[in-house]
Amino acid sequence: MRSKTPGTAGSLRAAIDRTGYYPEVVADAVFSALGGEDVIDHYVHHEPTFDHDEVRRHLTVVALTASRLVLAHTDEHPGDNLLPQPYTSTSTEAISLSAIKSVVVTRMVANPTSGPAPAAEVVLTIGWGGVSRVDLEPAGCSDPNCDADHGYTGVVSGDDFSLRVSAAAEGEQAVAGLLAFAETLSARTHRS
């Protein structure tokens, strides 16, 4: 969710409040992670998930400052052995813009032969090398009679942050907002 004036702490707070998802708890964590820096741009994504017969919510806040990208994830939990009453957990991460290695924007456009159209879905993936994923599979050769052990082959890929927004689920404005945030982030990381 993006405000019409994305570059202020006030518009970030308003976007958090609009979700109605523990706004005091979320704002406290986000603004603490911002460390007093001015907000240049932000994106707030509220995502309910269904777990058996329960609905659980997840909130992602992405805030851009002049020097850092701040990510915050808040989840709610029904209570467990750690805390018997329902609780939230919020994780924040602050990444220096100079550390960001890639900003990948994937747009899905329906009926592309009809000319330019708004994206129906967008995936924003940001990589800075904090998390990597290794996909391995047994290696082989082209000889169908070979039974030698060829070891493994695989791919190491960055998997730091990814956010998917769909016009069908969140609306066209949410998709446009994520695209605008990605554009601002790309411009800022280019300068770092």
Beta strands in 78-117 (DSSP E): 87-96, 102-108
Per-residue pLDDT of the chain (192 residues; tens, 9 = 90+): 554 445 688 999 999 999 999 999 999 999 999 999 999 999 999 987 777 777 778 999 999 999 999 999 999 888 888 888 989 999 999 999 999 999 999 999 998 888 888 999 999 999 998 766 677 888 888 888 888 888 888 877 666 899 999 999 999 999 999 999 999 999 999 765
174, 180 contact by CB (below 8 A): no
CB atoms within 10 A of CB 49: 10
